[in-house]
Structure 1
Amino acid sequence: MDLTYDSHVLKLARVDWKADHARVAEALGQARGRRLILRAEQSAAPVLAGVGAGASPLGSASPGKREIRPPAGPDDLPRALAGAGIDLDRPFDLEIVIRQPVPGAPLREALLGRHGYRDTRDRHVLHQPPASPATAATGVAAPHPLRRVPYFFRDHGGAVDLVDLHRGATVFLILNGPSFARVDPGALRRPGIHTFGVNNGAHGFRPHYWTCVDDPTRFMDTIWRDPGIQKFVPLGHFDRPVWDRAAGRVTAERVADFPNVIGYRRNEHFQADRWLTEDTINWGNHADHGGGRSVMLAALRLCHLLGFRRVCLLGCDFHMEAGRHYWFPEQRSEQAVRNNTAAYEILHGYFAALRPHFDAAGFEVWNCTEGSRLDPALFPHVPLDEALAAATLDTSASTEGMYVDRYRPEPEPPLPMTAPTTTPTPDSTLLDPGSSIPTPDPSLLT
């Protein structure tokens, strides 16, 4: 039996039409698939006995779910709901069912949609902005019926919930500049230290997490084959081969065949105000929007989604020159060096726009790269030793005495021991000489 991901279902509970109509319309407008099905359900209004203030409810019956013909446009939606018997003045539940959400979407919309997608499998499903600034931090459960859609997927389309997996923790993001060659790798293996790598840097230093945005054949197959590295890739990579360096050819295996691979949807239209909350991963702008893309952007967003709230940048040199390309062996042409230099300038602009949103979300970025040319006004420079000390866990304590029941009531303390008592021998001198009580024989009292 094969498990097939055929439908995407978005359930909107307790919809308040006056407050939520714009967001419901947006959800419908961005739902893409072969077929769209709407189902609405609303409990019946109570039937009252009597008239006026003294009326009492007799009860109500739920009419069940009602299928609604998809509206021709946003203005037609309230008429469609009302025509199905939904009272827009009272809360109701709405299901949006998208049949075959990936293969059925129109190709032009998938390629040239408003977010500028270029990969036929990297398709935007739905975007739900945060309910309020108070719930803008991605991963926080918003107290609102319109919940955000999943971010991470397996190759068969099943969602994987990894949001806030490392809530509040620190991660060290390795960006492969030449300066990383001077970092002690053992320091990044200490207890409490999490690492995130990009591109071919993971061949020489094995991080906990890794991502890429370029074609999979550009990266060492040892990275793909390592189950100890959780790999985040654009959904469009799942069906592509990797490069077998030893055999000198592409593999018969596809990215989806390798262990510990998680997919995400990406977009190529940078918008700072929604960058931390949109349901796809932005990695910059396509040429149609001015250009400038980088795996660094995707990695930062992934770190935030995973719950990390402090990212320490390593190998973030932010300059490239002849003979100094990466911390690992690789050559770049003069044109590639110029392109990277131009990308650094564009990234400065992105980060300047993002910094206020990072601050509002409690998302810190420290630059721990010595000699970095990334503007310290954007991300402050913090010595690596200081960042490591803040994140490292002290494991010097003894485990002795840990295997006890912390919840069992303490027994009552024993009563203090007392010395045995003896009957004193009466002093015959204390008796009245004229008393009729005979003096006891001392031998009888022992």
Structure 2
Amino acid sequence: MEEESPVFFRAGTDRERIASQLAGSFGGPMPSACWLIGGGPSLTAEVADQILQTPIPRMGINLAGTGLLRPTFWTAYDPTVRFLKSVYLDPGIMKFVHERRAMDLVPETTYKVCECPNLYFFEGDRHRGFQRFVSESHRRIVDWNDSFVQAIDILFQLGFRRIYLAGCDLHIKASAELCRMSLEKGAKLPNGKALADVTAACEKAGVSRRELIRCAPGQLYHFEQRKSFQAAVATDQHYMRVVQYLRLARRSMTMAGLELVSVTPGSRLNDYFPYRDIAEVVGDLTGLIGPLSEPTVGLYERTEPRLPALQWTMRDFRPLHWSPDGKDRPIACEQMADDEPADDEADLPLRMMDQDVRRREIQRMQRESVEINEVG
């Protein structure tokens, strides 16, 4: 049978692919959680400090987190030249980029992106719909022209099933200048509308297109980066579209066990996904996985398991029909008798004991020598 290609791989400067079996690596017996850090203005130093108190990793996108925290994972959609050299060259950050970026040059260096440490590539899927937005059967990462959605799919493929969204405002507020201008013209700015709708209301009230273009946009990011008013309007439209994509893909995420939880006040996502105060999330995470300081006295002398308080006995079993020879492989179908009666659930322990007795007797007989002295 032909082996399936992995979701993630490394690449050489000769374009040779090196398979990497990363898919599912971060999944666990409980839903593994990760922060997804956006670049919105809501990501303050205080919020970053709270995130850093938690024992779960952080996925950064593009320039998000710059000056506030270093990500554990990182991804970007846009050209390589728009991002930071220190991210590409940091071996402590696991990076994921589209294979088309493999031969790009790392900013301010002569190195190829494919030479960077701890960096993995993937193929994009431009034709994926909402019904199967996330699935373990996918071998490519969704390509909806957006790094935020790309990051969600990467985290899912890595095995994370709960994603906390910080700095993910996904909207651009009208600036103070635009609000002042609209008041002077008597325009009533609609609440909850896209920035494009706000500008349309201003134009209807008599604000000229030239005045709007000269108007400063609202704050776009928590880091220093400016855009023209027209670019800000286009960015806000993109945010609105991505939020609606995710709203329409909710069933797919639910069926796959993926949870998006916003900790971003005022995010566009909060109408469609659960919102929690970040202090509550920090408390839950440190309580579930462990506080930052755990007692160590006497641990090196311990020899028995350290279990929580259990009400019932715990015992390990092999899967029901697996071979007992210690090799942990299923018994071949042809070894089972066709006329063997179906197991009754209540009789399973007795039947399993009888099978063990019969098996030991057969093994004893096989060890004994047999002489045949037939006269005839």
> Same fold per TM (> 0.5)?
yes
Task: Tell me the number of residue pairs that the alignment of Structure 1 and Structure 2 aligns.
Answer: 249
User: What's the CA shift for 1:224?
Assistant: 1.1
Residue 387 of structure 1: aligned partner = 281
- Whether the aligned pair in 2 keeps the contact of 1:203 and 1:223 (CA below 8 Å) is no
Deviations 1:190-240 (A, max 9, x none): 251211101012532211000001110110111112111111111111101
Of the three residues 159, 167, 170, the one matched with 1:307 is 159
The secondary structure found in structure 2 opposite 1:241 is: coil
Aligned to 2:220: 325
Instruction: Report which of the two has the higher share of helix.
Output: 2
1:213 aligns with 2:77: yes
Query: How far off its partner does 1:255 sit?
Result: 0.7
* Corresponding residue number in structure 1 for 2:60: 197
Q: Distance in 1 between matches of 2:297 and 2:55?
A: 22
Amino acid at match of 1:169: S
Q: Which residue of 2 aligns with 1:157?
A: 17
8 Å contact from structure 2 (residues 50, 279) kept in 1? no
CA apart distance, 1:184: 3.4
CA contact (8 A) 1:230 1:260 kept: yes
Q: What is the TM-score with the length of structure 1 in the denominator? A: 0.53
Answer yes or no: is the 8 Å Cα contact 1:172–1:314 preserved in 2: yes
Find the counterpart in structure 2 of residue 171 from structure 1.
34
Q: Are the equivalent residues in 2 in contact too, given 1:203–1:220 (CA < 8 A)?
A: no
Q: Which is strand-richer, 1 or 2?
A: 1
Secondary structure of the 1:276 match is coil
CA distance in 1, matches of 2:228, 2:158: 35
Distance, in Å, in 1 between the alignment partners of 2:123 and 2:160 is: 20
Contact 1:348 1:375 survives alignment (8 Å): no
Shift of 1:181: 2.0
Summarize deviations over 1:242-263 as a string: whole Å, max 9, x none: 322xxxxxx3211112221111
> Does the 8 Å CA contact 1:318/1:344 hold for their aligned counterparts?
yes
Q: Greater CA deviation, 201-210 or 390-399?
A: 390-399
Equivalent in the alignment of 1:234: 98
User: Aligned to 1:272, which of 114, 126, 130?
Assistant: 130
Alpha-carbon distance, 1:391 to partner: 1.6
Q: Secondary structure at the match of 1:297?
A: helix
**Percent of counterpart pairs with the same letter?**
30
1:165 Cα deviation after fit: 2.0
Q: Counterpart of 1:243 in structure 2: which amino acid? A: P
- 2:299 is matched with 402
CA positional deviation for 1:270: 3.4
Alignment pair present for 1:223 and 2:87: yes
After TM superposition, the score normalised by the length of structure 2 is 0.62
Aligned-residue offset at 1:405: 5.5
Distance 1:324 1:199 in 2: 17
Give the deviation of 1:268 after TM superposition: 2.0
Say if 1:239 and 1:256, in contact at 8 Å, map to a contact too. Answer: yes
Letter of the 1:185 partner, please give it: A
SS at match of 1:172: strand
Q: Is the alpha carbon distance of 1:366 and 1:191 closer, same or farther for their aligned partners in structure 2, counting shifts above 3 Å?
A: closer
Q: How far apart in 1 are the matches of 2:260 and 2:276?
A: 10
Query: In the alignment, what sits opposite 2:111?
Result: 253
The residue that corresponds to 2:347 in the other structure is none
Q: Structure 2 matches for 1:98-113, cutoff 5 A?
A: none
Q: SS of 1:374's equivalent? A: helix
Cα drift, residue 265 of structure 1? 1.0
Structure 2 residue runs without a partner (length 5+): 174-216, 306-376
Distance 2:65 2:94 in 1: 11
CA deviation after TM superposition for structure 1 residue 283, in Å: 2.8
Q: Who is 1:104 aligned against?
A: none
Residue identity matched to 2:5? V
Q: Does the 8 A contact of 1:151 with 1:280 survive in 2?
A: yes
Cα-Cα RMSD: 1.9
Deviation for aligned residue 1:182: 5.0
Cα 1:337–1:270 shift into 2, 3 Å: farther
The answer to whether the 8 A contact 2:54-2:282 is kept is: no
Deviations 1:45-93 (A, max 9, x none): xxxxxxxxxxxxxxxxxxxxxxxxxxxxxxxxxxxxxxxxxxxxxxxxx
Give 1:188 shift. 2.1
Distance 1:329 1:158, change over 3 A: same
SS of structure 1 residue aligned to 2:110? strand
1:362-416 Cα offsets, whole Å, 9 max, x none, are 111001001212242x2111111111122222244321221235359xxxxxxxx
